[in-house]
A and B are shown apart, each in its own frame.
Chain A
Amino acid sequence: MASPAGPTPRPRRPWRSRLARWEAKASPYLYVSPFFLLFALVGLFPLLYTAYVSVHAWSLLGGQGDFAGLDNYRRVLEDRFFWNALRNTVSIFLLSSVPQVLLALGLAGLLDTQLRGRTLWRMSVLLPFVVAPAAVALIFGNVFGDRYGLVNSGLEAIGLDAIGWHTNTLASHVAIASMVNWRWTGYNALIFLAAMQAVPRDLYESAALDGAGKVRQFVSITLPMIRPTLLFVIITSTIGGLQIFAEPRLFDTQGLGGSDRQYQTLTMYLWELGWRVRDLGMASAVAWLLFLIIVVFAVLNLWLSQRAGSLAGRPHGRAVRRSRRDAAGEGVAS
């Protein structure tokens, strides 16, 4: 770049210019190929090969056996522990995603004001994100201890009965979901905050002129305007939430999801089949089923939020467009 831009290129030997042309043509492929090669090897191939393993008898120690057709799938679908794990996973997922999105939205609304010490507040809500899920699980396992746990001691101190956080199915799901909520709410709030800040401020001004209160403004302007971000967060938390592993796995010392498997999730079930039962064929069948379940849930979520959007969003959308026009008009005036 430092060389002068004058129009007198040094006379080059033809092979050099050919080389330069070739370099310009080949470079893009050269730059993207490491990614594609590695990704094919460690991302795509394993995912596809899982399907191959899942239709074979395949033990962890003995390796590949006979072709088994859909036998592994049949055995998984007939196993009541699979259905148990599916129920637990969905229950924990709902308990962690719904309150989390709502809380994060509220928190983002609080942060989307002219706070003093803005950066400090934003950093503070992100703090839980730096604690690894394994550590979170150990800490919450103690906080939700059945005896002498912080939560139960608190309950007893105000005259309530202690709750069997590790023995009761629903209570254990609440405890595990609270780990996820604790770690991710602030993180998602920051994503929402970024989207909220992109909403033109004059929209709020014209809404306020029309007499809309703050709550009404939040529901009618903020929510419709940040819908793409809302969808993004819901979809990513679906993909992550349905694969939950570390939190339930470390909630007790045995790591099998409780004495009665009351909090064994699908990924834990996959791990147990693969590395305890040592049946990789069956474990692969679970991996593919889990993949399908994730796809179904993601599509369902997309569809639901699209419907919710078209039911509630239409009049709002019109209001937003109108006030955007107004705002544009005002923009000229100011």
Chain B
Amino acid sequence: MNRRPGFLVYGLLTAFVLGSCAPLYWSFLVGSHSRGDLAGRVPPLLPGGHFLDNAQRAIEAVPFWKALGNSLLVSGTVATSVVFFSTLAGFAFAKLSFRGRTPLMVFVVATLAVPTQLGVIPLFIVMAKLGWVGSMWALIVPGMVTAFGVFFMRQYLVDAVPDELIEAARVDGCSMARTFLNVAVPAARPAAAILWLFTFMATWTDFFWPLIVLPASNPTVQIALQQLQSGYYVDYSLVLAGATLSTLPLLALFVLTGRQLVAGIMQGAVKG
């Protein structure tokens, strides 16, 4: 079958990609016009020259730098922790035999589909008891492990590390810890990078839980964004300049690592 695409395929794809970019362009467009430009009409379709002014106003309207720092800290820590614990557990499930391995793995798979977001109320009660409400601990600790991460690393390591390699290492007198560090960790690197990226992005974009535990004075980027749109009159040049600005870090990550993201999704098992 001839699967070389014609103009129709390229035309439809181009239309789709334009549709994917349009809202972002619109956000930048509105954010680049002054409040006066926008008063009572649709903005012109070319950007104005006020993006930096508007962005500056957005940065001053909310604790922007604090929010950025918090988001980087929380997302980076959570992603690193998920990768670490998932690699450890994934390696054991993939390559070590131990009593209870199968039932435990079944448990991991079963919890994949559990909407843990619905546990927010007890989680909040516990955080309040610990005095962590309002601090980044409340975001970091509940995110430190995911069932998905363990499942993902296990699937990868099953094929990536030959059993003979583990045996050879053991025969050579490597301890389990050294086998893990010298054999499993290097082999896990590509999957670990993908898991790190997706966990980072999921944590960065999270809104529900941070809204519950964080005060306006110590927000993440998403919560700061929400604060821009408050009061009865919405200053859209300010709000959308902020929305555009808040998207830049992930956009940069996307430009740098888009290939890995695509590969990660296409390797099948990335949860929505």
Contacts and interface: CB of A to CB of B under 8 A. Distances in A.
A193 interface: yes
A113 B93 CA distance: 37
A131 to B, nearest CB: 5
Contacts of A94: none
Contacts of B108: 35
A28 B100 CA distance: 10
A191 B254 CA distance: 18
A113 B26 contact: no
A194 B226 contact: no
B243 interface: yes
Interface in B191-214: 201, 204-205, 207-208, 211-212
B40 interface: yes
Contacts of B259: 119, 123
Given A34-B85, A132-B207, A182-B23, A27 B177 contact: yes
A258 interface: no
B61 interface: no
A288 B174 CA distance: 49
Interface stretch (A73-81, A137-145, A311-319): A137-145
Interface stretch (A41-49, A83-91, A169-177): A41-49
A292 B230 CA distance: 34
Given A130-B247, A194-B266, A253-B234, A53 B118 contact: no
Nearest to B228: A138
A127 B208 contact: no
B24 interface: yes
A267 B208 contact: yes
B106 interface: no
Contacts, number: 297
Given A114-B4, A280-B125, A47 B150 contact: no
A67 interface: no
Contacts of B230: 253
Contact of A46 (B27, B119, B242, B261): B119
Contacts of A24: 170, 176
Interface string B228-267: 1111101010011011001100110110001101100111
A23 B175 contact: yes
Contacts of B144: 38, 42
A36 B221 CA distance: 30
Contacts of A25: 98
A128 interface: yes
Given A204-B1, A208-B1, A132 B236 contact: no
Nearest to A186: B20
A23 B121 contact: no
Given A130-B247, A190-B265, A139 B98 contact: no
A237 B236 CA distance: 31
B17 A139 contact: no
Nearest to A206: B1
A31 B111 contact: no
Contact of B180 (A31, A50, A121, A270): A31
A114 B212 contact: no
Contact of A113 (B3, B116, B234): B3
Interface string B31-46: 0000000101110000
Contact of A50 (B38, B118, B221): B118
A32 interface: yes
A246 interface: yes
A31 B119 contact: no
A102 B231 CA distance: 39
A139 B1 CA distance: 43
Q: Max chain A CB contacts within 10 Å: which of B4, B118, B175, B211? A: B118
Contacts of A3: 172-173
A57 interface: no
Given A1-B174, A130-B250, A148 B42 contact: yes
Interface string A143-158: 1000010100100000
B6 to A, nearest CB: 9
Q: Max chain A CB contacts within 10 Å: which of B16, B17, B239? A: B16
Nearest to A134: B222
B72 interface: no
Contacts of A43: 111, 114, 116, 119, 145, 147
Contact of B23 (A143, A148, A207, A208): A143
B160 interface: no
B37 to A, nearest CB: 12
Nearest to B116: A43
A126 interface: yes
A110 B114 CA distance: 33
A9 interface: yes
A39 B149 CA distance: 12
B262 A35 contact: no
B251 to A, nearest CB: 6
26 contacts: A5-B172, A28-B98, A31-B91, A31-B96, A32-B88, A42-B142, A50-B121, A113-B4, A114-B4, A119-B262, A123-B258, A126-B265, A128-B20, A135-B225, A135-B243, A138-B228, A138-B240, A139-B27, A142-B30, A143-B26, A148-B40, A148-B41, A150-B26, A188-B272, A280-B121, A284-B122
Given A32-B88, A50-B118, 17 more contacts: A23-B175, A114-B5, A115-B13, A128-B23, A129-B261, A130-B247, A131-B247, A132-B204, A182-B23, A233-B272, A243-B115, A250-B226, A253-B231, A267-B117, A271-B208, A280-B125, A288-B118
> Which 3 residue pairs spanning A and B have beta carbons closest together?
A46-B119, A27-B176, A132-B205
